[in-house]
Structure 1
Amino acid sequence: MISAVISKLPFINKDETINFYNTIGFQLDADYGQYLIFSLEQAELHFFSHSNLNPKQSDFMIYLRVNVEIEKLYNKLIESGISIHPNGKLEKKPWNQIEFSIIDPNGTLLTFGQFV
């Protein structure tokens, strides 16, 4: 019945959002001006324009499960100039996940996790 769940997230500045998601490995598939669609392997993210969003007050979050060595991804993002969230350093969690978090230019928290 349901074939996919796709997150719809806000963007403030289109160019900054495109640059950020390209840097972390997503490909821009469609740009409809006020609506963007990105993909990476089987993952797809949609974005809508929200010019009044204050990124410091954003409550948007997404969890991205990965099937690659999370330590390599973590280091790759750091090498690409992506800042790790101050409370989101790479660590093993009590729920048997290894996780880390970053924040996009729109204030959306992206947590990457891998089963231990």
Structure 2
Amino acid sequence: MTEVITANLPARDFNKTEAFYTRLGFETRFRNEGWMIMGLGGTQVEFFPHPELDPKTSWFSACLRSDDIEALHAQFSEAGLPKDQTAAPRLTEIFKLDTAPRMFALVDEDGSLWRVLDETDLAA
């Protein structure tokens, strides 16, 4: 038996969300008018329509664990996202908090926060 849990995030406009995530290296695996699934390697994220969402007040988030956050950060950096702490979208540098693994943050155009965590730091 195999179980999988996927993040479900809002999208104000599937065309814009699809274009944004494609720039990061995701591929579209399913799409209709009410649902979209995008994948990156062996992982995926699902999007639902939320046209009235205000990205500045969004509280949606997801975690992505990687055993090579440097490579993933480099890949996401190629999209040329702003680093400004108030911008949406934006991409932070890799950082470490005292009680958490190394990570970086990505905020998409709809204000959803991704915490990209160093899987090797979680295991330590």
The farther-off stretch of 93-102 and 16-25 is 93-102
Answer with 87-96 or 104-113: which moved more: 87-96
Alpha-carbon shift at residue 78 of structure 1 (Å): 2.0
Alignment of 1:75-94 (within 5 A): 75-84=74-83, 86=85, 88-94=92-98
Higher strand share: 1
Does the 8 Å contact 1:8/1:46 carry over to 2? yes
| 1:15 matched to 2:15 | yes
**Counterpart in the other structure of 1:71:** 70
Counterpart Cα distance in 1 of 2:30 and 2:50: 17
Secondary structure at the aligned position of 1:93 is classed as: coil
Counterpart for residue 61 of structure 2: 61
For residue 96 of structure 1, report the CA deviation from its aligned partner. Answer: 4.9
String of CA shifts for 1:45-97, please: whole Å, max 9, x gaps.
Answer: 111100111110000011100122x2232233223212346284311222351
Q: Check the 8 A contact 2:25/2:75 in 1, yes or no.
A: no
Which residue type is aligned with residue 19 of structure 2? N
Does residue 5 (structure 1) correspond to residue 10 (structure 2)? The answer is no
Structure 1 pair 84/5, CA: closer, same or farther in 2 (3 Å)? Answer: farther
The two structures, once aligned, show a CA RMSD in angstroms of 2.0
Residues 1:48 and 2:52 aligned together: no
Say if 1:30 and 1:85 are closer, same or farther in 2 by CA, change over 3 A. Answer: farther
May I ask how many residue pairs the two structures share in their alignment? 115
TM-score, structure 1 normalization: 0.86
Poorly superposed stretches of 4+, deviation over 3 Å:
none
Q: Which runs of 5+ in 2 are unaligned?
A: 87-91
Q: Are the counterparts in 1 of residues 8 and 48 from structure 2 also a CA contact under 8 Å?
A: yes
